[in-house]
Amino acid sequence: MKEQIKIVIENDYYGEGSNMSYHDEIDYFVNEMNIFAEIRNNNYNNIIEEAKRYSSDKEDYDSHIVVGSKGYSQGDWQDTIIYYNKDEVSENDLSNLTLLIERMFTHKHDYSVTKYSVIEYNNKKYETIEDYTSFCITNTEFPNKEDIMKEYDAIYGEDYDLFEINAE
């Protein structure tokens, strides 16, 4: 009798982990900086102004940048104008916030994982579900199987003997 652990990773099209992670990061940077934001496509919410826990107006600032976001269909676009004071905002934080805004419509991938106990007995395999979990990838636009396994291993470790990926 031989026992192994197998994981099966699949796309989770209904998962919200990557979207929640994205909004948490926006919230962090927005509330670390003193900024004001306007948007040029009113079909979408102004996520920066929604995340702020302080009030401000664009006249309070001496600088601004325009950050464009584009998705995969014609209607997925947003221009965000960020107003800020150069001496109050770190370039690193502004750069990170800009990158997040550029990825507004992309870089959000959720995966579900089913962990099985596989027992081989008399040349037959028997599988029993042991656990379910999920994770997300938000730093790669089109993750391949290697990216998916690398992220899984970084979060959960190599806790399996066999793996199957039904996602990409």
What CATH number does the domain containing 114 carry? 2.60.40
List of residues 6+ apart from 10 with CB closer than 8 A: 111, 112, 113, 114, 165, 166, 167
Q: How many domains does the chain have?
A: 2
Tell me the residue range of the domain where 121 lies.
Answer: 2-15+108-166
Q: What percent of the chain has pLDDT over 90?
A: 73
> Model pTM?
0.84
Residue 3 has pLDDT above 80, yes or no: yes
- Helices and strands: H and E segment counts in the chain: 4, 7
Q: What is the mean pLDDT of the chain?
A: 92
Instruction: State how far the alpha carbon of 150 is from the alpha carbons of 4, 42, 56, 110, 133, in Å.
Output: 20, 38, 42, 14, 16
Q: Do both 57 and 23 map to the same domain?
A: yes
- What is the per-residue pLDDT for 89? 92
Q: Do both 123 and 77 map to the same domain?
A: no
- Cα–Cα distance between 168 and 165 in angstroms, integer? 8
Residue 149 has pLDDT above 90, yes or no: yes
Q: Do both 123 and 66 map to the same domain?
A: no
Q: Locate 132 and state its tokens.
A: 């379910």
- Cα–Cα distance between 4 and 128 in angstroms, integer? 11
| CA proximity to 28, closest of 82, 96, 80 | 96
At position 11, the amino acid (one-letter code) is N
- Cα–Cα distance between 94 and 114 in angstroms, integer? 38
Residue 56 has pLDDT above 90, yes or no: no
